[in-house]
């Protein structure tokens, strides 16, 4: 039996405490209104057009019309093009829209600049008012992004750790169905890690409810939940049969309940099998695992559309579900490896040898490459065809998230492929730990890349709110997982494959 070491418990509490402080700081420092945003933008030394925007209103009252018009054209080029491409109807609608962000790129803004200039010459007075309104719109846009920041940070960390335990659950179910002969000694470790799933599901569901019910004014994570936006956005209107809050939250509830039900019964049967005289509970587990895998792959796909892809409701990709799956599946396997290595080092896993570790490392290696394959396939197909409505997704990411976007490939592909290709390295504890930490950090950044551009746009930063959120959920994860590990023996007794697994040697 494992006993939760008091040191690790204290450590997890410290992480949670620091995390809560970080999250709180993130929410407290988020701007409340447009005036605050204006101050923030004015204070930003690097933003030339922001600075101009801030001074613009003062100038506007005194300067001659010509100068004023020039300034307005320049500083509003971004905002104008943004509104235009979002069909120019509802200014608010652009605030988290990928199309709007892309429009900030070079070409559209130049085109709109010219456009603006010709019309502006004719109607200077109108232009003044327009420019003013657009400036307000720009500020509102930035306000929403900045208000989203702590929410998005919380959301990314929450969904990441929840999906890590989902990845472990999927791996566990596959091992059951495949009747793997090597892994039964690790089943209790996997069950311990998936104990985080119910906790994470509750927190995650609460965040979904808070978002969908508009409990907090500052939460604009999902643009399609904003009624004003939908009223003026035909693309989202056309999707509202699927993207509407009641249907969306019911789907979420069904998926979370389904996953948690499998986890609950699978563990219950596994413990019952220990005390049983025959293999009936084992067979039951085999059957429910097979059914779960069918349910999982359908729900996982839909989950990825609902919780991640719908952040950019104008964009769609068909292999997205697989891509998300690969990302958290490899993170889950990595987590199994890390927890196993930790427990082994503390002397709790008598029958786990380097061959088991080696197998886990091979999975880490292989699924990392699989993730890269899907990452590249999604990217390259869209890059190659360059269809505007699809490519905005990557334009945003490459222009605004260049380092995280390509850094994720380095961390999730280049590093593991070079370090884990060596058979001997796959048996060395510190190599596994190092590769595992890089892979987990890389996949956090992967989720960051998926969610942040649609919620905070160019206002992203990995700061107090983001790190605080990660630390909080990491602390919670450690606490829940290691508490659960202490609740049952770490070696299943009557699993039909347990003897083979004990003597597994590669």
Partner 1 sequence: MSNKVIYAIYNDDDILMDAVKKTRAAHHHIEEVFTPFPVHGLDKAMGIAPTRLAICAFIYGCVGLSVATAMMNFIMIQDWPQDIGGKPSFSYIQNMPAFVPIMFEMTVFFAAHLMVITFYMRSKLWPFKQAENPDVRTTDDHFLMEVAVNNNEEELISFFQNTGAVEIKVIDKH
Q: How far is CA 119 from CA 60, 124, 133, 282, 438, in A?
A: 19, 8, 16, 75, 53
Give the closest residue to 492 by CA, choosing from 483, 502, 479, 506: 502
Q: Confirm or reject binding of residue 410 to partner 1 (CB under 8 A).
A: no
Give the closest residue to 443 by CA, choosing from 156, 166, 229, 201: 156
Give the shortest CB-73-to-partner 1 separation in angstroms. Answer: 29
Q: Confirm or reject binding of residue 376 to partner 1 (CB under 8 A).
A: yes
Give the shortest CB-419-to-partner 1 separation in angstroms. Answer: 13
Q: Confirm or reject binding of residue 106 to partner 1 (CB under 8 A).
A: no
Distance CA 489, CA 219 (A): 44
Give the shortest CB-379-to-partner 1 separation in angstroms. Answer: 7
Q: Confirm or reject binding of residue 421 to partner 1 (CB under 8 A).
A: yes
Give the shortest CB-373-to-partner 1 separation in angstroms. Answer: 9
Q: How far is CA 287 from CA 112, 170, 276, 294, 392, in A?
A: 60, 14, 17, 11, 44
Query: Given the complex with partner 1, which of 151 and 379 has the nearer CB atom?
Result: 379
Contacts of 158 (CB under 8 A, 6+ apart): 200, 203, 204, 207, 469, 473
Q: Confirm or reject binding of residue 402 to partner 1 (CB under 8 A).
A: no
Among 17, 261, 380, 437, binds partner 1 (CB under 8 A): 380
Query: Given the complex with partner 1, which of 72 and 396 has the nearer CB atom?
Result: 396
The burial of 232, by beta-carbon neighbours within 10 Å (0-12 exposed, 13-18 middle, 19 or more buried), is given as: middle
Quick one: DSSP state of residue 492?
-
Part of the chain binding partner 1 (CB under 8 A), chosen from 218-226, 257-265, 314-322, 372-380: 372-380
Part of the chain binding partner 1 (CB under 8 A), chosen from 348-356, 383-391, 408-416, 496-504: 383-391
**3-state SS class at 505:** coil
Q: Confirm or reject binding of residue 48 to partner 1 (CB under 8 A).
A: no
Q: Confirm or reject binding of residue 430 to partner 1 (CB under 8 A).
A: no
Q: Confirm or reject binding of residue 384 to partner 1 (CB under 8 A).
A: yes
Give the shortest CB-381-to-partner 1 separation in angstroms. Answer: 9
Quick one: DSSP state of residue 202?
H
Query: Given the complex with partner 1, which of 264 and 376 has the nearer CB atom?
Result: 376
How many CA atoms lie within 13 Å of 381's alpha carbon, on the beta-carbon side?
11
Query: Given the complex with partner 1, which of 27 and 383 has the nearer CB atom?
Result: 383
Site residues (CB under 8 A) for partner 1?
Answer: 376, 379-380, 383-384, 386, 421, 423
């Amino acid at each position: 039996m494992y006993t939760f070491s008091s040191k690790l418990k204290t450590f997890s509490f410290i992480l949670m405490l620091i995390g809560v402080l970080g999250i709180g700081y993130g929410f407290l420092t988020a701007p409340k209104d447009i005036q605050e945003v204006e101050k923030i933008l004015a204070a930003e030394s690097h933003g030339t057009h922001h600075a101009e925007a801030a001074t613009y209103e003062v100038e506007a009252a005194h300067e001659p019309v010509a100068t004023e018009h020039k300034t307005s054209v320049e500083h509003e080029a971004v905002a104008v093009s943004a509104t235009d491409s979002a069909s120019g109807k509802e200014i608010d609608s652009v605030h988290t829209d990928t199309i709007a962000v892309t429009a900030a790129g070079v070409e559209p803004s130049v085109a709109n600049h010219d456009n603006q200039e010709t019309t502006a010459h004719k109607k200077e007075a109108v232009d003044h008012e327009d420019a003013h309104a657009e400036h307000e719109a720009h500020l509102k846009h930035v306000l929403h992004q900045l208000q989203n920041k702590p929410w998005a940070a919380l959301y990314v960390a929450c969904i990441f750790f929840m999906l890590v335990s989902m990845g472990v659950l999927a791996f566990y179910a596959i091992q059951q169905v495949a009747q793997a002969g090597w892994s039964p000694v690790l089943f209790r470790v996997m069950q311990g890690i998936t104990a985080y799933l119910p906790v994470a599901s509750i927190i995650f569901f609460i965040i979904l409810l808070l978002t969908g019910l508009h409990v907090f004014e500052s939460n604009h994570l999902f643009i399609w939940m904003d009624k004003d936006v939908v009223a003026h956005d035909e693309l989202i209107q056309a999707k509202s049969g699927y993207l509407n809050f009641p249907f969306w939250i019911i789907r979420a509830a069904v998926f979370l309940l389904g996953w948690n039900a499998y986890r609950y019964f699978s563990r219950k049967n596994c413990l019952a099998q220990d005390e049983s005289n025959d293999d009936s509970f084992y067979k039951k587990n085999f059957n429910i695992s097979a059914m779960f895998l069918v349910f999982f792959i359908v729900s996982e796909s839909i989950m990825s559309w609902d919780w991640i892809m719908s952040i950019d409701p104008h964009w769609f990709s068909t292999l997205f579900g697989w891509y998300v799956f690969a990302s958290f599946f490899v993170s889950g396997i990595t987590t199994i490896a890390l927890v196993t290595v930790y427990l082994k080092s503390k002397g709790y896993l008598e029958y786990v040898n380097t061959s088991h570790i080696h197998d886990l490392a091979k999975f880490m290696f292989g699924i990392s490459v699989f993730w890269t394959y899907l990452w590249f396939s999604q990217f390259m197909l869209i890059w190659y065809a360059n269809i505007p409505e699809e490519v905005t997704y990557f334009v945003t990411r490459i222009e605004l998230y260049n380092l995280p976007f390509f850094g994720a490939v380095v961390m999730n592909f280049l590093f593991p492929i070079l370090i884990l290709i060596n058979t001997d390295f796959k048996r060395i504890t510190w190599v596994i730990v190092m590769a595992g930490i890089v892979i987990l950090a890389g996949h956090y950044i992967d989720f960051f890349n998926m969610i942040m551009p649609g919620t905070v746009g160019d206002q992203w930063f990995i700061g107090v709110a983001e790190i605080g959120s990660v630390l909080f959920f990491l602390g919670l994860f450690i606490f829940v997982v290691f508490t659960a590990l202490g609740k049952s023996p770490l070696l299943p007794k009557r699993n039909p494959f347990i003897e083979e697994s004990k003597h597994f040697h590669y």
